[in-house]
Amino acid sequence: MLAIRQVTQLNKGWKTAGIDGKKALTFKERFELYNKLSTVNDWKHQGLREVPIPKKNGSTRILKVPTISDRAWQCLVKYALEPAHEATFHARSYGFRLGRCAQDAQKIMQINLNSRAKGYKKRVIELDISKCFDRISHKSIMDKLISPAGLKLGIFRCLKAGVNPEFPEQGTPQGGVVSPLLANVALNGIEEIHQALDTPMIVRVDGEYYLPHLCRVRKHRSPYLPPLRTVRDYC
């Protein structure tokens, strides 16, 4: 019932219709959906409704919206899987996590770049993964997912429901409730790829990464970025 209430009343886009055209559920329909969700281990996803969203640079991105019943199933699965994965996520990961936000990442950056922090050569390197949700590997998600077999099969069907024909093994639907969790699952561990002279730290917020360097630059030696192929291992 909590999952149904979340997607039909509390979420910001709760009035967004899926491929079936339904924007809201009546009181009776919510109880029918509650009974339907009892088959959580054998859930079959419907298609996704594509909604073009204009971007600031003039291009558009496609928001793929599941039906209300599929969103409720995803929310239920998110409630079940999130605690197990939260225990494994990196301490410097802040995007789409309970009790964390971009302001927490800003605070960590400020603490490590202020005048009292060690090192006299300080800088921030920004790293962005282009089309993060569209290019995440399904294999990376499924290999790292901590889940019973029934839910894992449902997640696999969820990924395939919104697949791009050009990239059949990549992408998570951006309109899906569980997609942010799946992105964090796939990208978990990427914070450890950078090596510098002194202790490095990568702060991750969604698909963007910030590397505040607190190091003493010595002659003929300087911090370096990892090869791009290392980043692609996670996407």
Does the pLDDT of residue 88 top 70, yes or no? yes
What is the Cα 81 distance to its own chain's centre? 14
Query: Predicted confidence band at 86 (pLDDT cuts at 50, 70, 90)?
Result: very high
Q: How many CB atoms lie within 10 A of CB 202?
A: 18
Residues 6+ apart with CB under 8 A from 26: none
Please give the model's pTM, rounded to 2 decimal places: 0.79
Average pLDDT over residues 36-47: 87
Asked if residue 16 has pLDDT above 50, the reply is yes
- Give the C-alpha distances (Å, rounded to integers) separating 235 from 168, 169, 189: 14, 11, 12
Between CA 187 and CA 181 the distance in angstroms is 10
Instruction: Write out pLDDT tens, residues 112-170.
Output: 777 676 666 677 777 777 777 888 889 989 999 999 999 999 999 999 887 777 888 88
| The residue count for the chain | 235
Q: Angle at the Cα of 224 (from 219 to 226), degrees rounded to 5? A: 155
Q: Is the pLDDT of residue 190 over 80?
A: no
What whole-number distance in Å separates Cα of residue 213 and Cα of residue 182?
Answer: 29
